[in-house]
Homo-oligomer: A and B are copies of this chain.
């Protein structure tokens, strides 16, 4: 029984954290490294994970979605903390809008629904996560699929959005600059994000500190349009003060 249980634990961990290290598995499961590697090899053959030097990852690091999985790995723990904090702010009977991006995906993974909840999203991977919770009603926006971000954008998504009004919008961005505002890499995405802002009461931006000072290709909005930023503790005091002067609530995890 030991083997199967160990395999289960490995899979659990990789599903939870996105990746595992051989070393830490050895310690946690109290077996030799050879055994762990054999386990990983076996599970890879079953298609349950991908081996990489030093351990294994949940998603194929060399598939065409490479950008996102690498993106996802980057600042992973910060994103999880931010996602967790954001998840806490969701209350019963909220109708929540979740945009696409790696940080909001972390939010989707952290959501533990309390009572009824309706969530609208343009991100397929977010919807996939939410599919696990029977208590959450999910509305998936439609339209052209953007491969890199696993999300849709375009007029079809915007049209559907027009029929809804949401209590909260969780927005992820690619860049956040004190002068230029919030940006993303894609114009269609930026446009959709603006529509999302229009139909939402409270706008909460989830962004890890590495994005500060960066500018993506396409501007979404300025700071006057948003209500709160949740970020990690590597943000500078100066930036925090500036944001607060813009009237934005800053939550640090």
Query: Which A residues between 132 and 154 are near B, CB-CB below 8 angstroms?
Result: 132-134, 137-145, 147, 150, 152
The residue that A52 contacts in the complex, of B1, B138, B159, with Cβ under 8 A, is B1
A63–B36 CA distance with the chains assembled, in angstroms = 20
Query: Which A residues between 38 and 52 are near B, CB-CB below 8 angstroms?
Result: 43, 46-48, 52
Cross-chain contact B139 with A145 (CB below 8 angstroms)? yes
The residue that A138 contacts in the complex, of B3, B131, B140, B145, with Cβ under 8 A, is B145
Which residue of B is nearest A15, CB measured?
A: B66
Q: What's the tally of chain A residues with a CB closer than 8 Å to chain B?
A: 49
The residue that A124 contacts in the complex, of B63, B128, B147, with Cβ under 8 A, is B128
Decide yes or no whether A127 CB sits under 8 A from chain B.
yes
Decide yes or no whether A94 CB sits under 8 A from chain B.
no
Asked whether A131 and B147 contact (CB < 8 A) given A1-B54, A61-B8, the answer is yes
Cross-chain contact A46 with B62 (CB below 8 angstroms)? yes
Q: Which residues on B sit within 8 Å (CB–CB) of A3? A: 52-54
Cross-chain pairs A/B with CB under 8 angstroms, 19 sampled:
A1-B52, A1-B54, A4-B57, A46-B64, A47-B65, A48-B62, A63-B132, A65-B131, A124-B127, A124-B128, A124-B140, A127-B145, A131-B150, A138-B147, A139-B143, A141-B142, A142-B152, A142-B156, A159-B159
